[in-house]
Structure 1
Amino acid sequence: MTANVMVVVERQFDVPRDRVFRAWTLPEELRRWRGSPGWHVESETVAGDLQIGGRHTHVKVRDNDPGTRVTTDGVYTEYFEPDVFVSRERITGDPGIDPNTPLELRVEFTKYGRDGRGTLLRIIQGPYDPDVAGWHGEGWEKELTRLQNYLAGTGEYANGEDAS
C-alpha cells in the first residue's frame, strides 16, 4: 500500500496555549503524559533541543512487555513558541510504520474562547498507510486524554504516577 493518509486530531483545552505548548515540548513534562493506556515514556530517553533544526527523542515502552519499545527520533523543521511546531520524524518499533519513511508531525496551538484563555490543539501527522491511519488517530485521542488529565492535575499519568 501507498502511505498517503494524513491523520488530523483536534482537542480543546481550557488552559492557556503557552502552558499546553510547554507540556508538549519540555522533556520534564512530556515524559509525564505521553503514551496511550498500557504504555509509558522511558524518562531517561526524553530529550529536546527546542529550536529549528533541533533534535528531539523519546521511547515509549509497553507496560506489560518492556521489550516492546517504540522510538521517535525527530528534527524540528518549524518551531514558533507558542504557536506551532513541525517535526520530521523516524519511528522505529511500530509495526504499522516504515522506519525508513519519515513522518511529518505538525502540532498547532490556537487561542480559543471569548477571553482567549483556552487552546485548540490540532495534530496533523502522516503520511500513513490507509490500513493503520485510523489506529494511529485513536492513539492520539488516547494520548490527548492523558494530556488533558495531566494539565488538570487529575487522573493517572502515562508513567503510572497518580496526580494526587
Structure 2
Amino acid sequence: MTANVMLVVERVFRPSSAVLFRAWTDPDEMAAWRGSPGWHVEADTVTSELRLGGHHHHVKVRDDQPAVRVTTDAVFTEFFAPDVFVARQRITGDPGIDPDIPLELRVEFLKTGRDGTLIRIIQGPYDEAVAEEHSLGWERELTRLQDYLDAKSKESA
C-alpha cells in the first residue's frame, strides 16, 4: 500500500467566508457538525489554537459503537483567516490511515460570484484503496455543515 492520492472536494455555500471559516475553526461550532452520519465529534475533546503553529485536537466517535474512536492531532502550518488554513495531521484509530504517515489538510474559502463561497478541501496522501471512502466522508460532512448552517439561520430568523 502506497499513500499517494490527494483528495479534492469542493462545494459552494451561501454564507460568507468569515461565517464558514468560523464554523470550521471555532471548537463549539465544529463539534456541532463535524463527522459523517453515524459519527460525532466529542465536544469536550476539541481544542484549537487558531494561529500559525497552533495545535488542534479532536476525537470523532461512532454513534452506535462509542469505543470506536478516531483522533486527529494537528499543527497549523498556514493560517490566514478567513481565507485558508493548512494543518499537518496525525490521525489514529482509522484503519484506512497509517498513523505514522502524516496527512496534510488544506481548506480554502473562496468568494464565488456575488453571493457564494467555495469551500475546497485538499487532503492526503491516502492509499488508493481508501481514498474514495474518505472523499465520500468529506462529501457527507459538507452536507452536515449545510444542515448546521440552515438550522442556525432559522434560529436567528
Taking the aligned partners of 1:37 and 1:129, their CA distance within structure 2 comes to 23
Q: Identify the residue that residue 159 of structure 1 maps to in structure 2.
A: none
Taking the aligned partners of 2:126 and 2:82, their CA distance within structure 1 comes to 27
Match of residue 132, structure 1, among 126, 130, 133? 130
1:82-120 Cα shifts (integer Å, max 9, x gaps)? 11000000000000000011000000000112x2x3110
Q: Which amino acid aligns with 1:139?
A: G
Taking the aligned partners of 1:152 and 1:21, their CA distance within structure 2 comes to 16
Q: Which amino acid aligns with 1:111?
A: K
Q: How does 1:70-109 map to 2 (within 5 A)?
A: 70-109=70-109
Q: Which has the higher helix share?
A: 2
| 3-state secondary structure, aligned to 1:75 | strand
Q: Which amino acid aligns with 1:28?
A: D
Cα deviation, residue 151, structure 1: 1.0
Unaligned runs of 5+ in 1: 155-164
Unaligned runs of 5+ in 2: 153-157
Taking the aligned partners of 2:68 and 2:138, their CA distance within structure 1 comes to 19
1:141 counterpart = 2:133: no
Q: Which amino acid aligns with 1:135?
A: E
1:5-64 Cα shifts (integer Å, max 9, x gaps)? 001000000111110000000101000000000000011000100000000010000000
TM-score (ref. length: structure 2) = 0.95
Superposed structure 1 runs of 4+ greater than 6 Å apart? none
TM-score (ref. length: structure 1) = 0.91
Root mean square deviation, CA, Å: 0.8
Taking the aligned partners of 1:16 and 1:39, their CA distance within structure 2 comes to 27
Q: How does 1:14-163 map to 2 (within 5 A)?
A: 14-113=14-113, 115=114, 117-153=115-151
